[in-house]
Structure 1
Amino acid sequence: MKHIDLIIIGGGPIGIACGLEAKKNGINYLILEKGPIVNSLFNYPINMQFFSSSEKLEIDDIPFISKEAKPKRNEALEYYRRIVTSNDLNINLFEKVNEVKKEGDSFSITTEKEAYTASFVIVATGFYDIPNTIDVPGEELPKVSHYYKDPHFFAKQKLAVVGASNSAVDAALECYRKGAEVTMIVRGPEIGRRVKYWVRPDIENRINEGSIKAYYNTTIKEISKDSLVLDTPDGALSIENDYVLALTGYKPNFEFLRKIGIELSDDQKLYPQYNEETMETNIENLFLAGVICGGMDTHIWFIENSRIHAKTILNTISQKIHQ
């Protein structure tokens, strides 16, 4: 069994930032990532553009140069990949962590490939792995997806997009422009308030002109092979349908946190317990970093305001090591 001073679970931007800080502090560390480098960003839609400008996505003061002020997915992949390779970060890819146990003063970490012990652990696993389901009959059908990648697939198809957030709006607009017949199913009375300001007029104009059909204050009651049953303000309505993109958001792996022993709030927010000054959880020497700190409020923490977690945590760990 290998001993590593610090195990960082998650190889996204914040996990990478933690690795950089560990390296600068001379701490023996290992980043464990279940997929490729910045796995969540890799799984974003191909044409996605960030809300944040490039300088706000920078980590460790390493310049992020993009063609436009707000970079796109491929530019972010290039940026974070180069940071990992040029700094020769110690990262194991495609190695999923199955279990973390506190045993005395150290942790036992078991992955799909190896077993480790560590003095410190940082969990920086993000929130993109588990979709919020809509829990209706037919959701398990192959025509239904909770992830969107490329609009080409939906050309000449009757596509329902469930949701009104940035991801849903981007998918609706892109698929419409590639020839899909798009219908948006929106639970609330309007397009989401957090939709990117330069995109909102576009989606609203497409809806107003009838290019994209939108049902507000509406939910799906049932999904079948070639149709949907909607629950609208005017009653049940059946519409023809080929595919469903249920882009209703995602959530952290709370079960993983619970298994480790991290305490969560007993309300629907499921905020994990941690010290805001150190990012240390209720388990000594186990820290949280990044969006996972916000529980179900996944909009609270993102790259630009959680990149400071790396310095905070590594300063704390360094102080503990040198006590």
Structure 2
Amino acid sequence: MASNKNNYQLVIIGGGPIGLACALEAKKAKLDYLILEKGCLVNSLYHYPQNMTFFSTSDRLEIGNVPFVTNNPKPTRTEALEYYRRVTVSSELKIHLFEEVESLRNEGGMFRISTTKDEYTAKYVIIATGFYDLPYLLNIPGETLPKVTHYYKDPHFYALQRVVVIGAQNSAVDAALETWRKGAEVTLVVRQPDVGERVKYWVRPDILNRIKEGSIKAFFNSSVAAVREGEVDIQTPDGIVTIGNDWVIAMTGYQPNIEFLRKCGIRLAKDESLRPEFQESTHQTNIPNLYLAGVICGGMDTHTLFIENSRVHAKRIISDLKKKEKTTTG
């Protein structure tokens, strides 16, 4: 059973930028809160590629009116990690790291939250869990081989190796260009007829030029059919092409933990978006006092919400909690 010390007005599930934004607003409203994060601080950002540059400018990544000062117009992953760490420390936010929430139950008007380490109760809960932890799988032979990864970190690892990169968006293009510049022999495999239109505008011409000149080989309207030690099969419009290969970087995208929302009792759209049900003005779900914040609000449409257009979720939610608390206390 949860002890009194584990009883909070508000528990925030997820310690990413939006979870931190919710905590900053909660602290300002003098609510007793706790953040529960299953990994490290801003875990999703930590797992971004080491050389990643944001599309957004630093001012659009700021939370809690804390300035984000950078050396460049577009901040890097390293700068973002340092910024959110400084915000957390300077604001003395209450957060438990490496503590994953396993279940959330509504018991008599209070939520009981069970984690890998403890148990808590809370009057209100905000789910701000992001979407970077569950990659879309290829479901092909050989996908479980050690040479296949759905996460890309550092290009040096692939120096002088034969690399297949799967995907057409920013993460795939970055991996292809960076590993090629470290001396890898890179093959890009894209399901669509072209590189994605949403690729960063200063990067897209680079990848197109590398493909045009033959520095990076690309198969469009194609997919990887099988992976084996030393080679891969690529299904192309002209049939199967087998090429030599050392590593496969499958940048096929990621998805939110929809199953956790289902287990919580949150209603989901019946179309393929699986968008969770919530009130736009307050972000409260169909379950009273249970809220959603951040990219999780988009369901499977993860490209519609980012840090810059999700920060307002924190203000909407905490504003609603303040009204409820004011009504409760008279």
TM range (shorter): over 0.9
Describe the superposition over 1:152-203 as per-residue Cα deviations: whole angstroms up to 9, x where unpaired. 1101111000001000000100000001100000000000010000000100
Could you tell me which of 245, 261, 276 is aligned with 1:241? 245
Cα distance between partner residues in 1 of 2:228 and 2:261: 35
Q: CA deviation at 1:55?
A: 0.4
SS in 1 for 2:145: coil
Cα distance between partner residues in 1 of 2:230 and 2:273: 36
1:97 maps to 2:101: yes
Identify the residue that residue 209 of structure 2 maps to in structure 1.
Answer: 205
1:183 maps to 2:187: yes
Identify the residue that residue 172 of structure 2 maps to in structure 1.
Answer: 168
**Please, what TM-score do these two structures have when normalized by structure 2?**
0.97
Q: CA deviation at 1:268?
A: 1.3
Identify the residue that residue 20 of structure 2 maps to in structure 1.
Answer: 16
Identify the residue that residue 53 of structure 1 maps to in structure 2.
Answer: 57
1:70 maps to 2:70: no
Structure 1 unmatched runs, 5+: none
Cα distance between partner residues in 1 of 2:260 and 2:145: 27
Q: CA deviation at 1:121?
A: 0.2
Q: CA deviation at 1:104?
A: 1.7
Identify the residue that residue 156 of structure 1 maps to in structure 2.
Answer: 160
Cα distance between partner residues in 2 of 1:251 and 1:222: 23
Identify the residue that residue 33 of structure 2 maps to in structure 1.
Answer: 29
SS in 1 for 2:126: strand
Residue type matched to 2:83 in 1? Y
> Which aligned runs of 4 or more in structure 1 are off by greater than 2 angstroms?
none
Q: CA deviation at 1:239?
A: 0.9
Quote the RMSD (CA, aligned, Å). 0.6
Identify the residue that residue 254 of structure 2 maps to in structure 1.
Answer: 250
Describe the superposition over 1:195-231 as per-residue Cα deviations: whole angstroms up to 9, x where unpaired. 0000001000000000000000001111111111111
Determine what percentage of the aligned residue pairs are the same residue: 59
Describe the superposition over 1:78-103 as per-residue Cα deviations: whole angstroms up to 9, x where unpaired. 10000000010011111111110111
Q: CA deviation at 1:42?
A: 0.6
Could you tell me which of 211, 214, 222 is aligned with 1:218? 222
Cα distance between partner residues in 2 of 1:267 and 1:309: 24
SS in 1 for 2:121: strand
**Please, what TM-score do these two structures have when normalized by structure 1?**
0.99
Shifted more, 265-274 versus 25-34: the winner is 265-274
Cα distance between partner residues in 1 of 2:233 and 2:112: 49
Identify the residue that residue 306 of structure 1 maps to in structure 2.
Answer: 310
1:106 maps to 2:114: no
Could you tell me which of 264, 270, 275 is aligned with 1:271? 275
SS in 1 for 2:304: coil
Cα distance between partner residues in 2 of 1:183 and 1:20: 45
SS in 1 for 2:183: coil
Structure 2 unmatched runs, 5+: none
